[in-house]
Structure 1
Amino acid sequence: MEYVGRVPAPPLDRFVDDVYCLTGVPRHRRVNVPPMPSAHLFLNLGGPARLWDSDPSVPPAVFTGGWFMGVWTRRFLIEYPARVRLVGVHFKPWGMAPFVGVPASELRDRWVPADAVWQRSADRIRDRAGEAASPAAALRALEEELLSRLAETPPRGLDLVRHAGGRLETSHGAVPVGALSDAAGVSGNHLAAQFKAHVGVTPKRVARIYRFAQLILSVDARRPVDWAGLAHTAGYFDQAHFSREFKDFTGHTPTEYLDLRRRFPAARGFPPDNGPMPAD
């Protein structure tokens, strides 16, 4: 499977980590995706994709078109079609807010058909991307759609969340939440309320996800792994807490995860292999 992606030009880069195309035969049809510091838009140009929540009470879903996903605080599983053709957006945790009129709390840990959010215009952008002569042209069409939907005036409180979230991003979740509210000159309760409004979760939860993402992406399965050292570097000072959160986020113990990565190594230079884990 081929990945073509890029960071969009300003002002989209304030809200979007990358736009990308995936095409071809997937290395693994089914992958587990741990919580990562992003929200998503997928526009499916190929066969149906299937999604499962790690919460067994949530029914699975099948998507033939597109879907939005807010920030996830638990893992989910995606099954690709035999041949993949999709374009997507990795939004920053707060990045959906100026593009959609849906409260972030309604998209947290959920998948929602794109047409339900963009009122059936998702079909139009899918057609444009599907008819594009190259991945670069498909990404241009996607960026143009995002630019056309970017609110001229950011929703109230979004600038506060973006600046505080940017500090969590650059520090990989290491900045104490109290320091964020002090620097912004607001109360901790106000900061938490704004994060819930624009991200769907508290800044403390966003920090946890950034911290875990930094740890998981720093694992080199080709070499011996000092889990205690990695956990401490990532800001975990309680080994029991680290082990519990690792199992919650991946479904595996650190030892099981390392064995999985060694049996199914990530492709060098292929970002989608760096976080998700083979489930087949």
Structure 2
Amino acid sequence: MEYVGRVPGPPLDQFIDDIYCLTGAPRHRRMNVPPMPSAHLFINLGEPARLLGPDPSVPPAVVADGWFMGVWTRRFTIEYPTRVHFVGAHFKPWGLSPFVGIPATELRDRWVPVDAVWPRSADRIRNQLGDVASAAEALRLLEEELRTRLAEAPARGLDLVRHTGGRLEASWGAVPVRALTDAAGVSGNHLATQFKSHVGVTPKRVARIYRFARLIVSVDTSRPVDWSALAHTAGYFDQAHFSKEFKDFTGHTPTEYLALRRRHPAERDFPPDSGPMPAD
């Protein structure tokens, strides 16, 4: 598949890591996606995809038009069609808040149709994007749409969450929550309440996800991997806790994950492959 992405201009870049166009035949139809520090908007211009949560008793969701996803705290599986044509956005953990107007807890660990959040919009957006010939023009149109959706004034508490969340982002979750509250001059309960409202989870959970993301992106499968050293660098000081969290987030032990990555190397210049892994 081909991934064409870029960072949107200000002020969208305060809330969005990148907007992108993903096209082509996937190397792997099913991908397991661990928790990562982002929320998502997908506009599907091709055949339906399927989304499966970690509970096998819950039927998969078939998604044809477009959907939002909040921050995920568990792994899930995406099953691509034979050919993919997505236009989307990777939001920062707090990034959806000024665009959707609903509590982030309603999007945590969920996929929600675009029309449920932006009523009667999915067909119009898909028709606009489907009429353009280039990825660059599709990204321009998506950026324009997002600019019109950005709230003019931040909701209560969003500036606090954006500032403290930015410190977690810059440190890959290494700043203690107590240091965040002391610097912001607020209580831990107040900060947790605002994070739940704008991110869907507590700052402690956001820090955990950033910490795990740092570990994953630092794995070099072409060399021997010292998991203890990587875990310590990422902020894991208890080996048993690291092993349990790694298995919870990926479904694999570190050794199994490394073997899988070596059998199926990530596609070159393909950012989504830094986290997701083949499920087939």
TM-score tier (shorter): over 0.9
- Tell me, what secondary structure is at the counterpart of 2:269? coil
Please, which runs of 5 or more residues in structure 2 have no aligned partner?
Answer: none
AA in 2 matched with 1:141: L
Aligned to 2:279: 279
**Structure 2 residue 167 is the aligned partner of structure 1 residue 167:** yes
AA in 1 matched with 2:78: I
Aligned to 1:258: 258
CA distance in 2, matches of 1:143, 1:30: 28
Q: Shift of the alpha carbon at 1:268?
A: 2.1
Aligned to 1:130: 130
AA in 1 matched with 2:258: L
TM-score, scaled relative to structure 1: 0.99
CA distance in 2, matches of 1:67, 1:272: 17
Aligned to 2:65: 65
Q: Shift of the alpha carbon at 1:57?
A: 4.3
Aligned to 1:52: 52
Please, which runs of 5 or more residues in structure 1 have no aligned partner?
Answer: none
Taking every aligned residue pair, what percent have the same amino acid on both sides?
80
AA in 2 matched with 1:210: Y
CA distance in 2, matches of 1:113, 1:82: 22
TM-score, scaled relative to structure 2: 0.99
AA in 1 matched with 2:65: G
AA in 2 matched with 1:240: A
CA distance in 2, matches of 1:3, 1:236: 32
Q: Shift of the alpha carbon at 1:59?
A: 2.8
Q: Out of 96-105 and 166-175, give the one that drifted further.
A: 96-105
CA distance in 2, matches of 1:126, 1:50: 18
Q: Deviations over 1:4-42 (max 9, x none)?
A: 000000000000000000001011110000000000000
Aligned to 2:83: 83
AA in 1 matched with 2:91: F
Q: Deviations over 1:122-171 (max 9, x none)?
A: 22111111111200000010000000010000111000000000000000
CA distance in 2, matches of 1:78, 1:96: 21
CA distance in 1, matches of 2:106, 2:160: 21
CA distance in 2, matches of 1:154, 1:126: 28
| Moved beyond 4 Å, runs of 4+ | none
Q: Shift of the alpha carbon at 1:120?
A: 1.7
Aligned Cα root-mean-square deviation (Å): 0.7
Q: How many matched pairs? A: 280
AA in 2 matched with 1:279: A
AA in 1 matched with 2:103: P
AA in 2 matched with 1:25: A
Q: Out of 176-185 and 263-272, give the one that drifted further.
A: 263-272
